[in-house]
Structure 1
Amino acid sequence: MNTTEYLSIIENIKREINAAEYRAALHVNADMLLLYYDIGCVINEHKTWGSKFIDNLAADIRLSFPKSKGYSVRNLKYMAKFAETYPEREFVQQVVAQIPWGHNIVILDKVNNLEERKWYIKNSAQNGWSRNVLVHQIESSLYQRQVLAEKVSNFENRLPSPQSELAAQTMKDPYVFDFITFKEDMLERDVEQALVRDVTRLLLELGTGFAFLGNQYHLNVGGDDFY
């Protein structure tokens, strides 16, 4: 048996298993979100029955499905808000179902604009944000800084389109490093050390396309050393 070939086969199989498990998880998540959406629609159709309807519904679901979680009064109210916020079921299936229910609750609670909601949904799915990261990005106004703010750069003059547009889209204005306690007489070295201490939050703020390779890089320019 060729050891190199065998190891390659094993790696390929493991990748296939991971991919299949991920697709299965996405499918389960989508089914659950559509179920929550349908329940929310039913609740909204019977608003005239008052708040007791939701209380009774939660109690009856708990009796029929004692091992099932997610059907508390609070969660049923979120389902109603979910269905009211997104009136098109197809939109829920194709866009909103990309992220978990907990992420959707965060966006429902903290974001009011539909375009902004869509942006956070898309970026949560693409970047694999956890719920805590999503909360941090919303509370630091990432959408406003990434999408709405006027970005000052010379990319349009220095880079051909569409590279100039892509480069501009990667910029935020301004960057928020409020996790560092700044002092008036702070030296560059102190700022660097503070950023390295909080490297995870720094990389979240910098966004896609950045990785921490080291905090010093040696450059020799004209015989002089710079770091």
Structure 2
Amino acid sequence: MEKAYTDWIEYLKQKIKSAQLKASIAVNEELLRLYWDIGKSIVEKQEAFAWGSKIVEQMAKDLKRELPDTHGFSRTNLFAMRKFYSFYKHQDMVQPTNEQIKNTDIRENIQLVHQAGGQLPADSILCKIPWRHHVAIMSKCSTLTEAIFYIQHTIHNNWSRNVLEIQLESNLIERQGKAQNNFELTLPKPQSNLAQETLKDPYKFDFLTLETNVQELDLERNLTENITQFLLELGKGFAFVGRQYPLQVGNKERRLDLLFYHIKMHCYVVIDIKMGEFEPEHAGKMNYYLSAIDNLLKTEKENPSIGIILCKSKDSLDVEYTLQDMNKPMGISEFTFSELPKTIRQNMPTVEELENELSRL
């Protein structure tokens, strides 16, 4: 009886959670359709009666007086509703398929349908994310292409508003899939598309505050100490395996800067960090690492390992020539990080000064 009862409670718990989730989704859809209708009404009234922006301020005051216990109709929010309708009014979007979301360039795979009367349909992708997400997107995106990119990624990755704002601030749309690589030549089509989309240029490590003369080992250590933010910047699907990961090749031990496993691509990802400018020999070293990983760690069921070389700077033509005949899949990206403010750096003791102080103890 005890197990039967426990199983029953677990079943009820899942049913309740499922019902709560469905209810919250339904509430969100109705709220967004209401905000759409209010925004549409504001636009139409302003056009019909040549009313200016002050009418929105008056609306906010009157609605607050008429509905004192109802929230969400402030001047700022009403202007946001107007923008919500104006921004999307000629493009009523329906929910995309999973394949469209996963496509390398999802901006070219948007299904658009015309809805009579300018109503927001329940199956629109606009109804699939919360209102505050929309406010964040509208505040940063100037085109429909940008907005759709972030809406679809929010749906696919289940981003919270905080994560969405980080992606907006870091200008993800301009960085994703932009790194130079040879994936199309070295990987089968489905994996090459996903690998291409996964890679960014540049990577932004603005969650770190480092000195300008930071060394590679220092950067590795700081990245792994801030692994949550690092994984967020790398993107969905990366699982951390190790830092300075040892590989026994013959009688010699080689160490990889950073080793990850990508769950969706089913492959190992080696990251090599270079604090200076990219040099062709860096790719030769990465080629060696990937051969070793494929022989020592990769199983028959897994895809070829991928290399990512992160460097402080690179010459595009240099990278192009380097990758041209390279037979292992790799990409080369720049990275940026927050440097210590000049005033702080000037007041920080040098290594020599610290050593002198320590020698006196």
TM-score, scaled relative to structure 1: 0.86
What is the DSSP-based 3-state SS (H/G/I as helix, E as strand, rest coil) of the residue aligned with 1:129?
coil
Q: Quick one: which of 167, 174, 180 aligns to 2:208?
A: 180
Q: Does 1:20 align with 2:19?
A: yes
Structure 2 stretches of 5 or more lacking a match? 94-119, 257-361
Which residue is 1:37 aligned to? 36
Q: Quick one: which of 72, 75, 97 aligns to 2:74?
A: 72
The CA distance in 1 between the partners of 2:225 and 2:27, in whole Å, is 38
The CA distance in 2 between the partners of 1:188 and 1:174, in whole Å, is 17
Offset from partner CA, 1:93-119 (integer Å, 9 cap, x none): 411121111111111111111111001
CA apart distance, 1:209: 0.4
Which residue is 1:211 aligned to? 239
The CA distance in 2 between the partners of 1:177 and 1:171, in whole Å, is 15
| Larger-Rg structure | 2
CA apart distance, 1:21: 1.9
What is the DSSP-based 3-state SS (H/G/I as helix, E as strand, rest coil) of the residue aligned with 2:248?
strand
Offset from partner CA, 1:60-100 (integer Å, 9 cap, x none): 22122211111011111111111111105843541112111
Q: Quick one: which of 129, 144, 155 aligns to 1:99?
A: 129
Q: 1:219 to 1:100 in 2, by over 3 A?
A: same
Q: Quick one: which of 186, 189, 194 aligns to 1:158?
A: 186
Query: For residue 117 of structure 1, what is the amino acid of its counterpart?
Result: A
The CA distance in 2 between the partners of 1:65 and 1:184, in whole Å, is 56
Q: 1:157 to 1:16 in 2, by over 3 A?
A: farther
Offset from partner CA, 1:20-67 (integer Å, 9 cap, x none): 322221111111011011001111112112334222322222122211
The CA distance in 1 between the partners of 2:24 and 2:195, in whole Å, is 34
Of stretches 178-187 and 160-169 in structure 1, the one that deviates more from structure 2 is 178-187
What is the DSSP-based 3-state SS (H/G/I as helix, E as strand, rest coil) of the residue aligned with 2:154?
helix
The alignment-based identity, stated in percent, is 42
Offset from partner CA, 1:159-199 (integer Å, 9 cap, x none): 22122222211111221113323445433321122112322
Q: 1:85 to 1:158 in 2, by over 3 A?
A: same
Q: Does 1:138 align with 2:168?
A: yes
Q: 1:9 to 1:144 in 2, by over 3 A?
A: farther
What is the DSSP-based 3-state SS (H/G/I as helix, E as strand, rest coil) of the residue aligned with 1:177?
strand
Of stretches 65-74 and 177-186 in structure 1, the one that deviates more from structure 2 is 177-186
Query: For residue 18 of structure 2, what is the amino acid of its counterpart?
Result: A
Question: Which structure shows the higher helix fraction?
Answer: 1
TM-score, scaled relative to structure 2: 0.56
Q: 1:90 to 1:21 in 2, by over 3 A?
A: farther
Structure 1 stretches of 5 or more lacking a match? none
Q: Does 1:201 align with 2:229?
A: yes
User: Aligned-residue CA RMSD in angstroms?
Assistant: 2.4
What is the DSSP-based 3-state SS (H/G/I as helix, E as strand, rest coil) of the residue aligned with 2:218?
helix
